[in-house]
Amino acid sequence: MSANAAGKPPVKTLIAGVGNIFLGDDGFGVEAVRRLGEHALPEGVEVVDIGVRGVHLAYRMLDGYHTVLLVDAAARGGEPGTVHLLDATDPATARPQTTALDGHHMTPDTVLALLDTLSAGTGGRRPDRVLIVGCEPAELAEGMGLSAPVAAAVDEAVALILQLVGGAEPTPSAAGPHTSERNSTPC
């Protein structure tokens, strides 16, 4: 990895698509990162399709990343296809009190809960920021393919992620969908 003009290595950002492509809209994160792979990204940004490998994701998150963007279906009670930007950096508010240990059915909040245990055992470093780009699902039953509103939201999520890694950062909202408000702090 090359250094920037100031002699520092670039800030590392991990973008991870999470979800099960065999459960309808749960495949949103996987499809969004697949489509994101068609775009040029800044140095230091890595895109991975994690799918259902939650334990693998938890270990990857301890690998010196400044920011981790998780892309996943996220039911928050809104209209299907609504894209949300959530800040899950604070472990006290971002995770449940118990951790399910089924490595193939771990939601992002369960992965975040596992980080504390893994970092203590491995000496890894938690990311400074954890953001979730989520999409309100319409259908999570068995079957392949995204519903029409969620498929239409993939481009919006990709555009949001490109803004986040490019420096024009929308403000995360714990209460609602993505807004066009911006903060000058890049990932």
- 107-132 pLDDT per residue, tens: 565 666 655 666 555 566 778 888 88
Q: Is residue 8 part of a domain?
A: no
CATH number at 94 reads 3.40.50.1450
> What is the number of structural domains in the chain?
1
Q: Is residue 2 part of a domain?
A: no
Q: Is residue 63 part of a domain?
A: yes
Distance CA 46, CA 90 (A): 22
133: left (phi over 0), alpha (psi -120 to 50) or beta: beta
Assigned token pair, 177: 């969908």
In which domain, by residue range, is 20 found?
Answer: 13-183
82: left (phi over 0), alpha (psi -120 to 50) or beta: beta
**What was the pLDDT predicted at 111?**
61
Task: Decide if pLDDT at 53 tops 50.
Answer: yes
Distance CA 133, CA 96 (A): 19
Task: Decide if pLDDT at 33 tops 60.
Answer: yes
Task: Decide if pLDDT at 178 tops 50.
Answer: no
**What was the pLDDT predicted at 1?**
44
Q: Is residue 1 part of a domain?
A: no
Q: Is residue 121 part of a domain?
A: yes
Q: Is residue 157 part of a domain?
A: yes
Q: Is residue 34 part of a domain?
A: yes
How many helices and strands, by DSSP H and E, does the chain display? 5, 7
Q: Is residue 114 part of a domain?
A: yes
Residues 57-104: pLDDT tens digits? 777 888 888 898 999 998 888 999 999 998 887 655 444 434 334 444
**Mean pLDDT across the chain:** 75
